[in-house]
Structure 1
Amino acid sequence: MPECMAAAGLAVPTDGPVLAAGIRQFTFHDAQAPALRNVAVSFAPGSFTAVLGASGSGKSTLGRLLAGWLPPGGQGTLAGFLELSGARLEFDGGSRDPRIDPAQWGRQVGYVPQDPAAVLSTVRATVAEELAFGLENAGTERGDMKAAVEHTAGLLGLRSQLDQDPARLSGGQLRRLAIGCAIIPGPPVLVMDEPFASLDAAGTTELATLVRDLLKRGTAVVILSQAVDPLLMEADAWVVLSGGTVAAGGSPAGVGHHSGLLPRAIRRLGGVEAAAPSVPRPAERQSGPPALQLRGVSFAYPASPASRMKRRKSPQAGELNGPALVLQDVSLAVHPGEIVAVTGPNGAGKSTLLRHFNGLLRPATGSVAVCGADIAKAPVGKTAASVGLLFQQPRDQLFERTVLREVRFGLDRLVGPAMAAHHAAAALRAVGLGDAAEEHPAELPASAQRLLALATVLARRPAILALDEPTVALDGDGLALLDAAVRSAAAGGAAVVLVTHELGYARSAAHRILALDGGRLVPA
Structure 2
Amino acid sequence: MHHLLRPVLAAGIRSFAYHDGDAPVLSGVDLALAPGTLTTVLGASGSGKTTLGRLLAGWLSPGAGGVLAGFLELAGTRLEFDGSAADPRIDPAQWGRQVGFVPQDASAILSTVKATVAEELAFGLENAGMSPADMRATVEHTAGLLGLTALLERDPAWLSGGQLRRLAIGCAIIARPPVLVMDEPFASLDAAGVREVEVLVRRLTGDGTAVVILSQALDAPLLDAATWIVLAEGTVGASGPPANFQQGGALPAGILRPHGLRPHQLPHPETAVPRRSGSTAPALELRNVTFGYRQDGQRRRRGVMRRAGQASAAGGLPCPVLQGVDLAVHPGEVVAVTGPNGAGKSTLLRHFNGLLRPANGSVLVQGTDIAEQPVGSTVASVGMLFQHPRDQLFERTALREVGFGLDRQVGRAAAMDRATAALAAVGLEGEAQAHPSELPASRQRLLALATVLARTPAVLALDEPTVALDGRSLAVLDAAVRSAAEEGAAVVLVTHDLAYARQVAHRVLVLDGGRLAEA
TM-score band, normalised by shorter chain: over 0.9
Residue 285 of structure 2 aligns with which residue?
Answer: 293
Contact 1:237/1:249, CA 8 A, preserved across alignment: yes
SS of the residue corresponding to residue 356 of structure 1 reads: coil
The yes-or-no answer on 1:118 pairing with 2:108 is yes
Contact 1:280/1:508, CA 8 A, preserved across alignment: no
List structure 1 runs of 4+ shifted beyond 6 angstroms: none
Contact 2:99/2:178, CA 8 A, preserved across alignment: yes
2:504 to 485, 498, 509: 509
Tell me, in whole angstroms, the C-alpha distance in 2 between the residues paired with 1:109 and 1:280: 48
Map residues 184-223 of structure 1 onto 2, 5 A cutoff: 184-223=174-213
Aligned-pair CA distance for 1:43: 0.3
The yes-or-no answer on 1:266 pairing with 2:251 is no
SS of the residue corresponding to residue 107 of structure 1 reads: helix
* Percent identity over paired residues: 68
Aligned-pair CA distance for 1:358: 0.1
Tell me, in whole angstroms, the C-alpha distance in 2 between the residues paired with 1:174 and 1:125: 14
Residue 6 of structure 1 aligns with which residue?
Answer: none
Contact 1:275/1:508, CA 8 A, preserved across alignment: no
Tell me, in whole angstroms, the C-alpha distance in 2 between the residues paired with 1:436 and 1:321: 49
Residue 87 of structure 2 aligns with which residue?
Answer: 97
The yes-or-no answer on 1:18 pairing with 2:13 is no
Tell me, in whole angstroms, the C-alpha distance in 1 between the residues paired with 2:170 and 2:436: 29
Residue 378 of structure 2 aligns with which residue?
Answer: 383
Change (3 A) 1:129 1:285: same
Aligned-pair CA distance for 1:326: 0.9
Residue 441 of structure 2 aligns with which residue?
Answer: 446
Amino acid at match of 1:271: G
1:370 to 365, 369, 372: 365
Aligned-pair CA distance for 1:426: 1.4
Tell me, in whole angstroms, the C-alpha distance in 1 between the residues paired with 2:59 and 2:437: 16
Q: Provide the aligned C-alpha RMSD in A.
A: 1.8
Tell me, in whole angstroms, the C-alpha distance in 1 between the residues paired with 2:390 and 2:92: 23
Tell me, in whole angstroms, the C-alpha distance in 2 between the residues paired with 1:90 and 1:304: 54
Tell me, in whole angstroms, the C-alpha distance in 2 between the residues paired with 1:172 and 1:58: 24
Residue 50 of structure 1 aligns with which residue?
Answer: 40
Matched positions, count: 505
Residue 515 of structure 2 aligns with which residue?
Answer: 520
The yes-or-no answer on 1:130 pairing with 2:130 is no
Q: Deviations over 1:3-22 (max 9, x none)?
A: xxxxxxxxx99831000000
Amino acid at match of 1:376: A
434-443 vs 265-274, greater mean Cα deviation = 265-274
Aligned-pair CA distance for 1:305: 6.2
Aligned-pair CA distance for 1:320: 6.8
Q: Deviations over 1:86-113 (max 9, x none)?
A: 1101111111111111111011100000
List alignment gaps of at least 5 residues for structure 1: 1-11, 312-318
Tell me, in whole angstroms, the C-alpha distance in 2 between the residues paired with 1:362 and 1:302: 14
Amino acid at match of 2:275: A
Contact 1:271/1:476, CA 8 A, preserved across alignment: no
List alignment gaps of at least 5 residues for structure 2: 304-313
Name the TM-score, length of structure 2 as normaliser: 0.95
Change (3 A) 1:408 1:149: same
Amino acid at match of 1:95: A
Residue 308 of structure 1 aligns with which residue?
Answer: 300
1:483 to 478, 487, 511: 478
The yes-or-no answer on 1:348 pairing with 2:338 is no
Residue 5 of structure 1 aligns with which residue?
Answer: none
Amino acid at match of 2:237: A
SS of the residue corresponding to residue 21 of structure 1 reads: strand
Tell me, in whole angstroms, the C-alpha distance in 2 between the residues paired with 1:279 and 1:358: 26
Residue 500 of structure 1 aligns with which residue?
Answer: 495
Amino acid at match of 2:254: A
Amino acid at match of 1:494: A
SS of the residue corresponding to residue 326 of structure 1 reads: strand
Q: Deviations over 1:99-136 (max 9, x none)?
A: 11111101110000000000000110000000000000
Q: Deviations over 1:17-40 (max 9, x none)?
A: 000000011110011111111100
Aligned-pair CA distance for 1:275: 3.8
